[in-house]
């Protein structure tokens, strides 16, 4: 964290900022809910990374003799309608969810932050144009727009990144712009400018690092949103293509059989719910920790 | 009287009429098949007696109330019951009776008409109407009512969306398009109260078929004039069918009562019919909660009902002959390679794949399901694409994919549809991975997009079904795979020898020779792997043990109410529960 902040020898402001991160971490540690969320997230990440080791069976392994079986010792979460081990599919599903959560946020940051920063920094006509553009994008109903993009691109993991990224950057762009607008008037920026710092250096070295707090918070909330969007897309069948498992897709297929085979949709639903909850707790914690004023 | 000959050109015209009202090719073919099977009595066939035939020990129930729905019947509230204005109003057909009706074999038989006659070429028809034909208010339902109703449908002022249905009638089109403004110029006329004379644009031997369809049902003039668009509300409706509409709580339930003025009332046993409006997604729940007496079933529900000793006897099969198969597109790699196609054909573990359908499918080794004309139980045919994983892998020898390596990206595409189809497709994916190491992506397309891309033969690998329209191999091969088809062709695969067999099947009259031609065609297509048959469909419904009278077709299978056959309710009756 520290390395990303401005170097402490540059200004007094920067020294305070590095303390902010340390203070933040301290405050976060004290927040039990947030820490619990963090632990779950960490576990999920491990599951996602080591899915190949953890899963008892390959996610494609079917067993036509053992369809829709309820949880048992052999299949702890039961089997699905093609006789695949639900637990293994859930484990691989975690990988998809985490990939989407992080992958989409990378695209969101890569689009949203530069646009927001430019808009805020340049001001004037450029700002008006960019803000109007952001407003127009903001006006689209998010999920519908994602579905539209998905149907244009076709289903698939990469396309989900793109679809969520293309539609999700608006919020972060607005926040970045607001931050940059405020920070660019600060004395230390004037100071840096007076010392001869150019446009690029000012923005990347002096302004953005100080605008990071809300961006970080926004990203922590963006991840679960992306995960949920993927789940929703796969639920309605425009997300991940089978046989690759995704929690949303599993719920979508399983809910049709809920009265006959409850386990098909209950377990993936729990997984989605727990993941969302963990990210929300963690995100809340991060926000409270980094921005005590909000509390 | 001799029934006028119906030429091929006329059958084409019939198809056009039905198409104009949105009747798909599939439904049209059912009707055409009924036409072809019409006996020497022609259209003057008497409908089967609807009176109940009680088995020994059975007693008619005192309470003749029947409830049906779910599984696709009335998912949405009807827009009206005004079939005369809009045949797709989604109303209850049993409220009305047309001059003719379709029986369980999709043949047009007498209904309100007691006799049909025509001139020698079929350009003029006369329907004699039963003297006991009445509206539900007790007033007679005469030829004048039919004349008025048909003219109402054609009147441009009614703006009936499917008026083109009646364009065979002289000047009907001109009148509908405002080229003729005098309704008396339209070729339908009540000669007297009991004779409806219809003059057509030309010879139309099939006209009584049109007269049996929903679009030819009458409307009650006085009610229409008094209540306009609201005339089919429960409080206003006057109808002439076996039932009347007692209540209609929009979006919730419709209740019908037996119409005591109906001419066939003595044969109608049900007194009350309740039709709740339920979405398909609720499955068999309303049936299991004893809110319905008859419903059609979905995958999860079938197994549960069959495994319950209380309900197992209530489940029955009904014909829905269909074939699930794969199209490996011969224009797209890797399926441009015959060896690859053969490998796929031998890798399909049909017996295992159908298990995922849980009763809704059985393994298929050819196009035509067992029990239908042209079905092949020939070991030679069965051997062509039999399941043998070693043989499958061996086919790849000498190809770039030897040993199941180097597969390009393979996308299996299917149509987004109800339960049952996707698990089967996933099972296919699984056996291909297991036996050929071929990894496939499953792409589920929205139906319209799917059809468009299918017909462009733009899809690499397709999971698809064909539902039989009428029981003749012509439908299963010619309508499906004929290489010279100009529209709706599903696969790029073409084979001249195959096409010649289909032409022989079409042009030959000798049934034995015909079947031999189709068997040969199947052999050619399977050997060249133009398609890979996987499974035959089966459908199930459930009826409470006290429901009787569901009609059977000539093949002996139960027939349930759909869009052509709408004569189910008058045949049903309830017996006392044991």
Reported as a single tens digit per residue, the pLDDT across A152-206 is 888 888 888 888 888 889 989 998 999 888 888 888 888 888 888 888 888 888 8
- What confidence category does residue B506 fall into, taking pLDDT thresholds of 50, 70 and 90? confident
pLDDT at A5: 42
Contacts B441 to A, Cβ<8 Å: 156, 241-242
Over residues B340-361, the pLDDT tens digits come to 999 999 999 999 999 888 888 8
| Cα-Cα-Cα-Cα dihedral sign, residues B293, B297, B300, B306 | positive
Residue carrying structure tokens 């993009």: A149
Q: What angle do CA B542, B545, B551 make, to 5 degrees?
A: 65
The mean per-residue pLDDT over the stretch B259-284 comes to 91
Contacts B444 to A, Cβ<8 Å: 155, 237, 241
Any A CB within 8 A of B355 CB: yes
A257 to B281: CB separation less than 8 angstroms, yes or no: no
B300 to A83: CB separation less than 8 angstroms, yes or no: no
- What confidence category does residue B25 fall into, taking pLDDT thresholds of 50, 70 and 90? low
Q: Among residues A288, A295, A281, which one has the least CA distance to residue A38?
A: A281
pLDDT at A8: 42
Any A CB within 8 A of B433 CB: yes
The mean per-residue pLDDT over the stretch A234-258 comes to 87
Q: Residues of A229-254 as b/e, b for ≥16 C-beta within 10 angstroms? A: bbbbbbbebbbbbbbbbbbbbbbbbb
Chain A residue at shortest CA distance from B305: A260
Task: Indicate if the pLDDT at residue B132 is higher than 60.
Answer: yes
Q: What would the two tokens of residue B312 be?
A: 């197992």
Over residues B368-385, the pLDDT tens digits come to 987 777 889 899 999 999
Contacts B415 to A, Cβ<8 Å: none
CA distance B70 to A171: 45
Q: How many residues are there in chain B?
A: 578
B352 to A64: CB separation less than 8 angstroms, yes or no: yes
Nearest CA to CA, how far is A163 from chain B (Å)? 18
Any B CB within 8 A of A70 CB: no
A73 or A291, greater pLDDT: A73
Share of chain A above pLDDT 90, in %: 31
Chain A residue at shortest CA distance from B299: A257
A82 to B427: CB separation less than 8 angstroms, yes or no: yes
Over residues B546-557, the pLDDT tens digits come to 999 999 887 788
pLDDT at B299: 74
- What confidence category does residue A278 fall into, taking pLDDT thresholds of 50, 70 and 90? very high
Share of chain B above pLDDT 70, in %: 93
For chains A and B, CB pairs below 8 A equal 65
CA distance A93 to A263: 16
The mean per-residue pLDDT over the stretch B532-544 comes to 92
B301 to A259: CB separation less than 8 angstroms, yes or no: yes
Chain B residue at shortest CA distance from A234: B444
pLDDT at B185: 94
Any B CB within 8 A of A63 CB: no
CA distance B332 to B464: 17
CA distance A70 to A262: 8
* Residues forming a β-bridge with B272: B65, B257
Any A CB within 8 A of B303 CB: yes
A243 to B352: CB separation less than 8 angstroms, yes or no: no
pLDDT at B50: 67
A81 to B444: CB separation less than 8 angstroms, yes or no: no
Any A CB within 8 A of B272 CB: no
- What confidence category does residue B204 fall into, taking pLDDT thresholds of 50, 70 and 90? confident
3-class DSSP assignment, residue B466: strand
* Residues forming a β-bridge with B441: B411
Any A CB within 8 A of B416 CB: yes
The mean per-residue pLDDT over the stretch B139-150 comes to 96
A256 to B419: CB separation less than 8 angstroms, yes or no: yes
Task: Indicate if the pLDDT at residue B470 is higher than 70.
Answer: no
Question: Among partner residues B411, B425, B433, which is closest to A60 by beta-carbon distance?
Answer: B433
CA distance B504 to B486: 19
pLDDT at B509: 61
pLDDT at B36: 66
Chain B residue at shortest CA distance from A79: B356
Over residues B62-100, the pLDDT tens digits come to 999 999 998 778 888 999 999 999 888 889 999 999 999
pLDDT at B122: 83
Q: How far is residue B305 from each of residues A74, A259, A260, B362, B561, measured CA to CA in Å?
A: 27, 12, 10, 19, 22
pLDDT at B547: 94
The mean per-residue pLDDT over the stretch B448-463 comes to 91
Q: Among residues A260, A75, A64, which one has the least CA distance to residue B427?
A: A64
Over residues B386-424, the pLDDT tens digits come to 999 999 999 999 999 999 999 999 999 999 876 678 889
- What confidence category does residue B40 fall into, taking pLDDT thresholds of 50, 70 and 90? low
pLDDT at A17: 52
B285 to A259: CB separation less than 8 angstroms, yes or no: yes
Any A CB within 8 A of B299 CB: yes
Task: Indicate if the pLDDT at residue B116 is higher than 90.
Answer: yes
The phi, psi pair for B357, rounded to 5°, reads: -80, -10
pLDDT at A161: 87
Any A CB within 8 A of B429 CB: yes
Nearest CA to CA, how far is B472 from chain A (Å)? 34
Phi-psi region of B57 (alpha: psi -120 to 50; beta: other; left: phi over 0): left
Task: Indicate if the pLDDT at residue B197 is higher than 60.
Answer: yes
B299 to A60: CB separation less than 8 angstroms, yes or no: no
A69 or B133, greater pLDDT: B133
A260 to B441: CB separation less than 8 angstroms, yes or no: no
Mean pLDDT of chain B: 88
B355 to A67: CB separation less than 8 angstroms, yes or no: yes
Task: Indicate if the pLDDT at residue A49 is higher than 50.
Answer: yes
A12 or B463, greater pLDDT: B463
Q: Among residues A51, A241, A93, which one has the least CA distance to residue B410?
A: A241
- What confidence category does residue A210 fall into, taking pLDDT thresholds of 50, 70 and 90? confident
- What confidence category does residue A2 fall into, taking pLDDT thresholds of 50, 70 and 90? very low
Nearest CA to CA, how far is A239 from chain B (Å)? 10
Task: Indicate if the pLDDT at residue B24 is higher than 70.
Answer: no
Task: Indicate if the pLDDT at residue B336 is higher than 90.
Answer: yes
Over residues B415-432, the pLDDT tens digits come to 987 667 888 999 999 999
B426 to A65: CB separation less than 8 angstroms, yes or no: no
CA distance A225 to A142: 11
A206 or B501, greater pLDDT: B501
Any B CB within 8 A of A57 CB: no
Question: Among partner residues B281, B298, B427, which is closest to A62 by beta-carbon distance?
Answer: B427
What is the DSSP track for B370-438?
A: TTSTT----HHHHHHT---HHHHHHHTTTSTTGGG-S---EEEEEE--STTHHHHHHHHHHHHHHHH--
pLDDT at A270: 95
What is the DSSP track for A156-194?
A: SHHHHHHHHHHHHHHHHHHHHHHHHHHHTTSHHHHHHHH
pLDDT at A3: 40
What is the DSSP track for B318-350?
A: E---EEEEEEE-TTSTTTTSHHHHHHHHHH--H
A242 to B419: CB separation less than 8 angstroms, yes or no: no
pLDDT at A11: 46
Task: Indicate if the pLDDT at residue B112 is higher than 90.
Answer: yes
B570 or A212, greater pLDDT: B570
CA distance A14 to A195: 16
Top-ranked range on mean pLDDT: pick from A223-237, B76-90, B129-143: B129-143
Chain A residue at shortest CA distance from B443: A241
Any A CB within 8 A of B333 CB: no
- Kindly state the helix (H) or strand (E) to which residue B496 belongs, with its residue range: helix B496-507
Task: Indicate if the pLDDT at residue B33 is higher than 90.
Answer: no
Q: Residues of B207-220 as b/e, b for ≥16 C-beta within 10 angstroms? A: bbbbbbbbbbbbbb
Q: Tell me, what's the ipTM?
A: 0.72
pLDDT at A12: 45
Q: How far is residue B361 from each of residues A74, B166, B379, measured CA to CA in Å?
A: 28, 40, 21
Any A CB within 8 A of B453 CB: no
- What confidence category does residue B226 fall into, taking pLDDT thresholds of 50, 70 and 90? very high
A83 to B303: CB separation less than 8 angstroms, yes or no: no
Question: Among partner residues B358, B423, B441, which is closest to A241 by beta-carbon distance?
Answer: B441
Q: How far is residue A162 from each of residues A97, A147, A197, A230, B17, measured CA to CA in Å?
A: 15, 12, 35, 11, 48
Q: What would the two tokens of residue B321 be?
A: 């002959």
The mean per-residue pLDDT over the stretch B524-528 comes to 96
Task: Indicate if the pLDDT at residue B1 is higher than 50.
Answer: no
pLDDT at B265: 92
Task: Indicate if the pLDDT at residue A14 is higher than 50.
Answer: no
Q: How far is residue B505 from each of residues B29, B142, B206, measured CA to CA in Å?
A: 17, 46, 24
A243 to B356: CB separation less than 8 angstroms, yes or no: no
Q: Which residues 86-125 in chain A show a CB within 8 A of chain B?
A: none
């Amino acid at each position: 964290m520290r390395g990303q902040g401005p170097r402490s020898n540059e200004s007094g402001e920067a020294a305070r900022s590095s303390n902010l991160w340390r203070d933040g971490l301290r405050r976060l540690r004290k927040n039990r809910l947030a820490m619990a969320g963090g632990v779950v997230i960490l576990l999920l990440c491990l599951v996602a990374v080591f899915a190949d080791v953890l899963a008892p069976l390959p996610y494609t392994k079917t067993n036509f003799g053992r369809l829709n079986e309820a949880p048992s010792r052999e299949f702890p979460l039961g089997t699905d309608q093609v006789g695949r081990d639900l637990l293994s599919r859930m484990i691989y599903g975690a990988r998809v969810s985490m990939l989407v959560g992080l992958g989409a946020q990378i695209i969101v940051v890569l689009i949203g932050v530069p646009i927001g920063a430019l808009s805020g920094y340049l001001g004037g006509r450029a700002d008006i144009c960019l803000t109007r553009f952001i407003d127009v994008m903001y006006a689209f109903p998010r999920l519908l727009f994602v579905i539209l993009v998905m149907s244009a691109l076709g289903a698939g993991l990469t396309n989900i990144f793109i679809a969520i990224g293309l539609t999700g950057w608006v919020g972060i762009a607005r926040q970045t712009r607001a931050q940059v607008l405020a920070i660019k008037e600060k004395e230390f920026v004037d100071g840096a400018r007076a010392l001869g710092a150019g446009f690029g250096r000012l923005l990347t070295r002096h302004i953005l690092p100080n605008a990071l707090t809300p961006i970080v918070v926004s990203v922590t909330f963006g991840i679960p949103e992306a995960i949920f969007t993927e789940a929703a897309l796969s639920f309605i069948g425009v997300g991940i293509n089978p046989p690759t498992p995704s929690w949303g897709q599993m719920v979508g297929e399983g809910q049709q059989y809920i009265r006959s085979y409850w386990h098909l949709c209950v377990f993936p639903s729990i997984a989605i719910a727990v993941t969302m909850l963990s990210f929300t707790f963690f995100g809340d914690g991060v926000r409270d920790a980094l921005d005590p004023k909000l509390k | 009287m001799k029934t006028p000959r119906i030429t091929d050109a006329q059958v084409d015209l019939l198809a056009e009429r039905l198409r104009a009202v949105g009747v798909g090719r599939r439904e049209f073919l059912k009707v055409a098949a009924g036409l072809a099977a019409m006996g020497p009595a022609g259209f003057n066939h008497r409908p089967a007696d609807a009176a109940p035939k009680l088995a020994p020990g059975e007693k008619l129930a005192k309470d003749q109330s029947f409830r049906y729905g779910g599984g696709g019947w009335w998912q949405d509230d009807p827009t009206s019951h005004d079939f005369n204005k809009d045949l797709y109003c989604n109303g209850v057909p049993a409220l009305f009776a047309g001059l003719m009706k379709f029986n369980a074999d999709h043949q047009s038989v007498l209904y309100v008409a007691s006799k049909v006659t025509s001139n020698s070429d079929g350009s003029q028809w006369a329907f004699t109407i039963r003297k006991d034909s009445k509206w539900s208010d007790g007033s007679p339902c005469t030829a004048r009512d039919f004349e008025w109703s048909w003219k109402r449908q054609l009147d441009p002022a009614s703006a009936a969306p499917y008026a083109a249905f009646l364009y065979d009638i002289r000047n009907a089109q001109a009148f509908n398009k405002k080229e003729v403004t005098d309704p008396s110029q339209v070729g339908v006329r009540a000669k007297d109260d009991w004779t409806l004379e219809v003059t057509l644009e030309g010879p139309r031997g099939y006209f009584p078929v049109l007269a049996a369809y929903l679009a030819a049902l009458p409307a009650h003039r006085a009610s229409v004039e008094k209540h306009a668009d609201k005339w089919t509300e429960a409080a206003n409706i006057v109808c002439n069918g076996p039932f009347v509409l007692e209540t209609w709580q929009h979006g919730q339930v419709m209740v019908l009562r037996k119409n005591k003025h109906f001419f066939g009332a003595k044969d109608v046993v049900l007194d009350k019919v309740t039709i709740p409006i339920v979405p398909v997604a609720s499955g068999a729940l309303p049936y299991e909660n004893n809110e319905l007496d008859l419903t059609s079933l979905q995958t999860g529900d079938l197994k549960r009902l069959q495994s319950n000793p209380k309900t197992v006897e209530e489940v029955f099969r009904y014909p829905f002959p269909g074939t699930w198969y794969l199209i490996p597109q011969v224009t797209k790699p890797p399926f441009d390679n015959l060896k690859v196609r053969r490998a796929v054909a031998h890798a399909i573990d049909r017996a295992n794949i159908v298990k995922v359908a849980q009763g809704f499918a059985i393994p298929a080794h050819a196009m035509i399901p067992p029990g239908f004309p042209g079905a092949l139980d020939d070991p030679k045919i069965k051997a062509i694409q039999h399941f043998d994983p070693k043989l499958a892998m061996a086919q790849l020898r000498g190809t770039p994919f030897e040993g199941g390596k180097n597969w390009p990206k393979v996308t299996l595409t299917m149509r987004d549809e109800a339960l049952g189809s996707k698990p089967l497709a996933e099972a296919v994916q699984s056996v291909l991975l297991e036996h050929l190491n071929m990894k496939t992506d499953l792409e589920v397309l929205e139906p319209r997009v799917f059809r468009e891309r299918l017909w462009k033969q733009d899809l690499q690998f397709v999971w698809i079904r064909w539902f039989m329209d009428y029981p003749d191999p012509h439908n299963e091969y010619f309508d499906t795979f004929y290489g010279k088809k100009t529209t709706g062709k599903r696969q790029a695969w073409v084979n001249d020898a195959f096409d010649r067999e289909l032409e022989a099947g079409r042009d030959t009259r000798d049934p034995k020779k015909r079947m031999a031609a189709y068997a040969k065609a199947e052999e050619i297509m399977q050997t060249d792997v133009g398609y890979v048959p996987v499974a035959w469909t089966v459908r199930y419904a459930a009826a409470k043990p006290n429901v009787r009278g569901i009609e059977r077709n000539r093949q002996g299978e139960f027939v349930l109410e759909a869009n052509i056959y709408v004569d189910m309710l008058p045949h049903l009756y309830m017996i006392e529960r044991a």
